[in-house]
Amino acid sequence: MRAIWKGCLRCSLATIPIKMFSATPGRPRQFQLHPKNCGSRLIQGNLGSAHGRTLDPA
């Protein structure tokens, strides 16, 4: 991993080199929902409020 910032902290006679790294990787985080009773993965769909049917995201 490459440092995103480099610098020095100077305290009177001592100089301490500092490197700052990002806390998360460059890719986006993905979260999954699992119900407690079966442990399978939940798939989220777009439900219409009027009919309760799954709609296309168009």
Helix, strand, coil percentages for the chain (3-state, nearest 5) = 0, 30, 70
Per-residue pLDDT, 26 = 67
Per-residue pLDDT, 19 = 93
Q: For residues 3 and 19, give the distance between their C-alpha atoms in angstroms, rounded to a whole number.
A: 6
Q: pLDDT of 8-42, one tens digit each?
A: 999 889 999 999 988 776 677 777 777 777 777 77
Question: Which value, to the nearest 10 degrees, does the dihedral of the CA atoms of residues 22, 25, 29, 34 take?
Answer: -110
58 or 9: which carries more pLDDT confidence? Answer: 9
CB 58 within 8 A of CB 46: no
Structure tokens that stand for 35 in this block: 């119900």
pTM confidence score: 0.37
